[in-house]
Amino acid sequence: MTRHAPAIAVLCSGQGTNLQAILDAARRGRLTARVALVLSDRPGAKALERARRAGVAAYDVDPKGYPTKAAYERELIRLCEAAGVRFICLAGFMRVLSPVFVHRFRSRILNIHPALLPAFPGTHGARDALAWGVKVTGVTVHLVDEHVDHGPILLQEATPIAPNDTEATLLAKLHRIEHRLYPRAIQWMVDGKVRVRGRTVRVVR
């Protein structure tokens, strides 16, 4: 991956398995973008360790250290712009971004969610699907707007829920799908194939 490849920032709060999938896709040439920055709102997030092991700049930016949410997000913006970031990828980032951040990177922020949106938004998509007893769930990659799990959908893939699935086994299935889908959707953005009009997305093949 050359230094001239489009730079992306990945925002994480936890284990960083989708971050790892993005890093692996870039290393193998399946993603022609460079992970330039990883940010986490949790100092102990394993995602930070994954980033540093890959030679990527990684910072924990604790929101408790800022007087307001806007001040916190302005610091995230500063770090992203200093790194020359073109696209933002949320990968298990457990904070809702406000218009302060979203407006700065309008139509350039992606999120991946473990459910077939608009069904089961929020922090427990797999658990909620099991609780409702649905037979099919899946993964959604979407652009981020000012609302939770609400922006225009780029890509979805469904998977059946087995009668004996637990939250852990279902999440394992969903993670395997996520790790395939997210780099593909990011590549569409990098290639300029995504056209957005309101809540409608068209991918130019």
Active site (catalytic) residues: 113
CB-CB contact of 19 with 28 (8 Å)? no
Outline where 65-166 has alpha helix (H).
69-82, 99-104, 125-132
Could you tell me the strand order of the sheet in which 153-160 lies? Answer: 57-60, 34-40, 7-12, 87-90, 109-113, 136-143, 153-160
Q: Identify the residue whose tokens are 């806007």.
A: 70
Contact 100, 76 (CB under 8 A): no
What length does the chain have?
205
142: tokens are: 């979407």
For residue 81 the two structure tokens come to 């712009």
Query: In this structure, how many other beta carbons lie within 10 angstroms of the beta carbon of residue 129?
Result: 24
Contacts of 158 (CB under 8 A, 6+ apart): 116, 136, 137, 138
Structure tokens at 79: 């770090």
User: Which two three-digit tokens encode residue 18?
Assistant: 């989708």
Q: Can you tell me which residue has the tokens 């992606």? A: 110
